[in-house]
Amino acid sequence: MKLPPKTSFVLIDHRGIILSRAINPEPYIGTYYEAEKFRKMKEGPDTGTSVRRGIAGDMRTISYRKIHLEGEQTPYLYVLAGIPVEVATHEANRELLYNMLLLSSCLALACAGAILIAKRSIADRIMLLEDASQRLADGDLQFRVSSLVAGGSWEVLARRLT
């Protein structure tokens, strides 16, 4: 099977005895599964999933399924599968990082564009009008700013200055 790294399986019989274990099986086969966790699984629904600390100490997503014989009410076998949370979320985290970098780049470009547009359409025109008012104050009556500032209310203001 093509499974992610550190994926584990455990087969437990109806009494709670571990029959098979994928990772480090020798010390566990033939021993009882953790009593409280087995009780919760036994009393719970036919399938379940939880995130908890595994035997190795890592956080794992662990799912189980009860296996019933035909016509039997009580399960004869429990199958558990576990995968480390970091392995399960690795691809999603990589995609999130890529999307954040893409969004940040687009935001930086949008800000740079807004600054450029603001400079060209507001700041540069204000500088022209300041220069024109200074020239008028200095007595230069020949200078015409209305031809330099075209469009909208800036042009109206420029015509009034000249």
pLDDT (mean) for 122-139? 81
Range of the domain at 36: 8-88
Share above pLDDT 90 across residues of the chain, in percent, rounded to a whole number: 51
Six-digit token string for 59: 């956080």
pLDDT confidence band for 1 (50 / 70 / 90): low
Answer whether residue 160 is part of any domain. Answer: no
Q: Does the pLDDT at position 103 exceed 90? A: yes
d(CA 62, CA 9): 9
Count of domains for the chain: 1
Average pLDDT over the chain, rounded to an integer: 86
Answer whether residue 132 is part of any domain. Answer: no
pLDDT digits (tens, 9 = 90+) for 74-101: 899 999 999 999 988 888 999 999 999 9
Which one, of 95, 76, 19, 81, lies nearest residue 50 by Cα?
Answer: 81
Answer whether residue 93 is part of any domain. Answer: no
Residue indicated by tokens 């999603």: 92
Answer whether residue 127 is part of any domain. Answer: no
Answer whether residue 95 is part of any domain. Answer: no
Answer whether residue 137 is part of any domain. Answer: no
Residue indicated by tokens 């799912």: 63
Query: What CATH number does residue 35 fall under?
Result: 3.30.450.20
pLDDT of residue 152: 61
pLDDT digits (tens, 9 = 90+) for 33-51: 999 999 999 999 999 999 9
Higher-scoring residue by pLDDT: 141, 86: 86
Q: Does the pLDDT at position 154 exceed 70? A: no
Answer whether residue 139 is part of any domain. Answer: no
3-state secondary structure of 60: strand
3-state secondary structure of 129: helix
Q: Does the pLDDT at position 14 exceed 90? A: yes
Answer whether residue 58 is part of any domain. Answer: yes
Residue indicated by tokens 């584990």: 8
- In this structure, is the dihedral angle defined by the CA atoms of residues 22, 27, 30 and 32, taken in order, positive or negative? negative
